[in-house]
Structure 1
């Protein structure tokens, strides 16, 4: 009987906590949508000639012949 009472108290406490949490989440205002034209256009993805990793064109390291690498270390490893 004692355990049943403890279980009932725990269940009521969980129910009250979840109810308060749900009300808190509902009272928050969602973030405003981004203004039109503020998103950057997608970047081209390039493949590293050494390891095959795909990375944005802006982050790519180019070799002398225009080959694309993900880092200077891979560019050096490919030339040696």
Structure 2
């Protein structure tokens, strides 16, 4: 029984010290983006299937933007 009480007291002590240490951290400036956040990319829909892809990854064709060259070929009726 005394070991159980000792474990509970040590657990409570670790919890309190961990909580106090966490609250002492400096706060980040909320106006600056966090490194883990990524910038949103402009998205466009594929003219064949409607899947949205980033503009930089889209395949340009005569009839619009496509998610892949295969869909561009299907829509435009060309052979690769």
> What range is the shorter-chain TM-score in?
0.5 to 0.7
- Count of residues in correspondence between the two structures: 69
* CA distance in 1 between partners of 2:59 and 2:9 (Å): 63
Calculate the TM-score normalised by the size of structure 1. Answer: 0.57
SS in 1 for 2:50: coil
- Corresponding residue for residue 30 of structure 1: 29
* Structure holding more helix per residue: 1
- Corresponding residue for residue 20 of structure 1: 21
Alpha-carbon distance change, 73 to 15 in structure 1, aligned in 2, over 3 angstroms: farther
* CA distance in 2 between partners of 1:57 and 1:16 (Å): 49
> Once the two structures are superposed, what CA deviation does each residue of 1:20-69 show, in whole Å capped at 9, x if it has no partner?
12102xx24426558xxxxxxx85x43112221123445432222x2320
- Corresponding residue for residue 36 of structure 2: none
SS in 2 for 1:49: coil
Residue 50 of structure 1, aligned match among 48, 53, 74: 48
Compute the RMSD of aligned alpha carbons. 3.0
Residue 70 of structure 2, aligned match among 67, 70, 73: 73
